[in-house]
Amino acid sequence: MKSLNIMEGMIISTQLNPLRKTPPQSITSRLKQVGPGVILAATGVGVGDLVAALVAGTLYGHVFVWAVIIGALIKFCLNEGIGRWTLASGQTILQGWRQLGSWATGYFGVYVLIWGLIYGAAVTSTTALATTAMFPGTPLWAWAVFHGLLGFLLIWTGRYRFFEKVMMGLVGVMFITVIGSAALIAPNLATLSLGLIPRVPDGSLFYALGLIGGVGGTITMASYGYWLREKGWNRVGWVPMMRLDTTVAYTMTGLFTLALLVIGAEILYGTGIVLKGDQGLISLAQLLGEELGQPVRWLFLIGFWSASFTSLLGVWNGVPYLFSDFVRTIRNIPAEEAAPYLSDRSPYYRGYLAWLTFPPMLLLFLEKPFALVIAYGALGALFMPFLALTLLWLLNSDQVASVYRNGWMANVTLAASILLFAVLAIQELAAFFQ
């Protein structure tokens, strides 16, 4: 069974990437090829992460610098695990989940349909918030529809290489604007360094856990393996390159999140002002304009827009791979016929891309159905512990050569993350059903 699975993965990899590239050996040449990790970092850091980091700085100053760093390390471990599974086993993550039983793929199938409907409306709305603040007069729903259609057209007509270039450009904008805004504030480095010492003020335990668990972690983490395939990284020789790519990804994620924490700490800590929800970022931009001038307000709004739109584009490109592979998996398509399912030209890929774009537009005009929101929250709360648990099992199985299985550090980190995500899932489910 092990040899058959690995052979199947080799067949699929060859079909998808007939021209195999040679893995780079030097650090310089590897850095030049970094790409999927940067895409993942930009996609994973959504508005929710920005708000959480901002509120952390507002309420507790620089206390939770350590929590941001630990969160980035945990997500690095999860993402490296997905990449290592893909390269060492020759299988997709959906194939790995299928080995757990039909319940795993069934759960994912229900989750991805409900998640896509709600997320499609949420991410277009948050992206529209920034453009509405910059260009008032056009209703938010119109900007939301515009961004949904723009993302749809870019992914439908483009290929991975074009998508990667667009995302890299937007990431550059994010870094210049958001980290630039934090630098202009001139934070107190001595106070900031004290945040490296783990402390949990009274009443802030669950808040700290939420900040750790929410640094750049979404379903798009599971898309990483498909981006590796599109990049041409398709065998174990690419593991060092993948690890550097993932390191760059979560270094960027940590820096970006820390920049928001610094802005909250330096501008709002001790003022009694607490910004909540997506609108809090618009209010913060206004405050930055009053404190530092209108150019800084525009700088921050452009960064806010870039962070939102990269999340939209990353999901529009990455999650349809998962859905198309889900269809392949439940239909038991043999390896020699699998490549068309793992293509961005697959009808299942494009069908899910349309699902992300058009049905959610109805939710922009109507109240979200209560039952749908409940199901979304319940299934979503369980996804990250599900991902961590399955990686712990798969990366200790004989589907992976012994040299690429988990070491003790990876096992401890994954086990700890399972506990963390389980606690957060229970907390979120309790809040939904109260």
Averaged pLDDT of the chain: 85
Least confident piece of the model among 26-40, 70-84, 207-221, 327-341: 207-221
Structure confidence by residue, pLDDT tens digits, 323-364? 999 999 999 887 778 888 889 999 999 999 999 999 999 888
CA–CA separation, 268 and 330 (whole Å): 51
pLDDT for 290: 82
6 — pLDDT class (breaks 50, 70, 90): very low
Structure confidence by residue, pLDDT tens digits, 249-300? 899 888 888 988 888 888 878 777 766 666 677 777 888 888 778 888 888 8
> Domains (ranges, CATH) in the chain?
38-433 (1.20.1740)
pTM score of the predicted model? 0.88
pLDDT for 183: 84
Highest averaged pLDDT of the listed ranges 12-21, 231-240, 349-358, 413-422: 349-358
